């Protein structure tokens, strides 16, 4: 092999080695670049998850505190007028279900550990955060169930009382026009007194819908006192006394049940308020790392997720 051939072979060998080096280096750089992009994307995904998590917390915690206030307000109203028992207002907020059931807790878990470190303290912190979230969700579900049961039971008590009161009125009206009483010298005062009781009731209860409190104060209780203090007793008065005694028991049952419910609503209020405050304390360090402007922007860009 002459010098020219050797030179040519040497040249092509060097060129091939150089091309191979370039190819390997280029491939490595491409892989490294792709890996870098992947890491950046993964970090962004984790950050988005935490922003989403914090955004839900910003909704869930105030909602829990507000629901506690609704429970307290209802309890105070019931204590003041246990015969009315108004409806409990509920927060129109589904974020608690989103954070407790629908978002990927494992993804949030890894995002938190990646950001704050895989320490025993952070493991415990995450468990405590979700324990509070789960408990808050449980309390809201139990509150809805309890409120529904309490309202149904109260409605049934009021229905029975109303039926009994109608029977009382019918019997009173029958006695008022009964000749046995109106034409009797011994009994004539009975229809007069019963009619006076009814007229007082109509004057103080002008609305078409009879109020339990008014029916009790102006009819049930006065009729009971009149019969018990009246010297003459008849079959009709005995039947009327049985009805008003039943009405008194029903009335007191409504009052007692309502006051018990008022205490139960205070227990819910304490549980919701304390749990929401605990959750706020546990997550303050997370929320402080995400400006409200960033959370608001994320909500605008991802309205379907919030």
C-alpha span between 178 and 188 (Å, rounded):
10
pLDDT of residue 110: 82
- Residue 301: pLDDT band (50, 70, 90) is very low
pLDDT-wise least confident of 33-37, 91-95, 150-154, 269-273: 33-37
pLDDT at residue number 291: 64
pLDDT at 20 over 60: no
Across the range 39-57, mean pLDDT stands at 70
Average model confidence (pLDDT) across the chain? 83
Degrees (nearest 5) of the Cα angle 71, 257, 160? Answer: 120
87: DSSP letter = P
Which of 46-55, 119-128, 142-151, 203-212 reaches the highest mean pLDDT? 142-151
- What are the pLDDT digits (tens) for 204-234? 876 645 689 999 999 999 999 999 998 788 9
- Which is more confidently placed, 75 or 84? 75
Which domain covers residue 23, as residue numbers? Answer: 1-306
Judged against a pLDDT cut of 80, whether residue 104 lies above it is answered with no
The answer, yes or no, to whether residue 150 has pLDDT greater than 80, is: yes
pLDDT reading at 292 higher than 70:
no
Residue 202: CB atoms within 10 A of its CB come to: 10
Average pLDDT over residues 180-192: 90
- For residue 98, the SS3 value is helix
| Whether 83 contacts 162, CB under 8 Å | no
Nearest to 302 by CA among 44, 40, 51: 51
Distance CA 177, CA 70 (A): 50
Banded pLDDT at 306 (limits 50, 70, 90): very low
Q: pTM for this one?
A: 0.78
- Percent of the chain scoring above 90 in pLDDT: 52
High-pLDDT (> 70) share of the chain, %: 78
Give pLDDT tens digits for 87-99.
999 998 888 888 8
Residue 85 makes CB contacts below 8 A (sequence gap 6+) with 78, 150, 151, 154, 258, 261
How far, in Å, CA of 89 to CA of 95, rounded? 17
Q: Is the pLDDT of residue 303 over 70?
A: no
Model pLDDT, residue 251: 97
Instruction: Classify residue 78 by burial, with Cβ atoms within 10 Å: 0-12, 13-18, 19+.
Output: buried
- Number of domains present in the structure of the chain: 1
Per-residue pLDDT at 12 exceeds 60: no
Query: Backbone dihedral region of 70: left (phi > 0), alpha (psi from -120 to 50 degrees) or beta?
Result: alpha
pLDDT at 138 over 60: yes
At residue 282's C-alpha, the angle toward residues 277 and 286, to 5°, is: 120
State the Cα–Cα distance between residues 4 and 242, nearest whole angstrom.
Answer: 132
pLDDT of 103? 76
Six token digits for residue 173: 């009206």
Choose between 299 and 137: higher pLDDT: 137
Q: Which residue has the tokens 């979700």?
A: 130
Q: Which of 214, 204, 174 is CA-nearest to residue 190?
A: 174
Contact by Cβ (8 Å): 115, 50: yes
Distance CA(222)–CA(216), nearest Å, equals 8
Say which residue the tokens 């917390």 belong to: 57
Written in H, E and C, the secondary structure of 157-202 is HHHHHHHHHHHHHHHHHHHHHCHHHHCCCCCCHHHHHHHHHHHHHH
pLDDT at 5: 53
Task: Summarize the confidence of residues 195-205 as an average pLDDT.
Answer: 92
């Amino acid at each position: 092999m002459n010098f020219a051939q050797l030179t040519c072979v040497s040249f092509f060998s060097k060129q091939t080695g150089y091309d191979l080096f370039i190819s390997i280096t280029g491939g490595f750089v491409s892989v490294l670049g792709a890996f870098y992009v992947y890491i950046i994307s993964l970090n962004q995904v984790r950050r988005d998850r935490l922003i989403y998590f914090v955004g839900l917390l910003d909704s869930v915690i105030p909602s829990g505190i507000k629901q506690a206030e609704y429970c307290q307000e209802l309890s105070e109203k019931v204590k003041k007028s246990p015969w009315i028992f108004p409806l409990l207002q509920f927060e129109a907020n589904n974020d608690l279900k989103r954070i407790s059931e629908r978002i990927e807790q494992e993804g949030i878990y890894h995002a938190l550990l990646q950001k704050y470190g895989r320490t025993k303290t952070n493991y415990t912190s995450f468990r405590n955060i979700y324990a509070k979230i789960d408990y808050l969700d449980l309390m809201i579900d139990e509150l809805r169930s309890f409120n529904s049961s309490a309202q149904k039971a109260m409605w049934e008590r009021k229905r029975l009382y109303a039926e009994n009161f109608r029977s009382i009125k019918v019997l009173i009206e029958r006695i008022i026009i009964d000749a046995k009483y109106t034409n009797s010298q011994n009994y004539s005062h009975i229809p007069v007194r019963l009619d006076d009781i009814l007229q007082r009731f109509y004057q103080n209860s002008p609305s078409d819908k009879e109020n339990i409190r008014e029916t009790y104060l102006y009819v049930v209780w006065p009729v009971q006192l009149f019969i018990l203090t009246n010297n003459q007793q008849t079959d009709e008065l005995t039947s009327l006394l049985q009805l008003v005694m039943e009405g008194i028991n029903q009335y007191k049952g409504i009052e007692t049940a309502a006051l018990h419910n008022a205490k139960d609503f205070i227990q819910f209020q304490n549980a919701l308020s304390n749990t929401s405050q605990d959750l706020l304390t546990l997550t303050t360090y997370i929320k402080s790392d995400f400006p409200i402007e960033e959370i608001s922007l994320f909500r605008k860009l991802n309205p379907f997720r919030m």
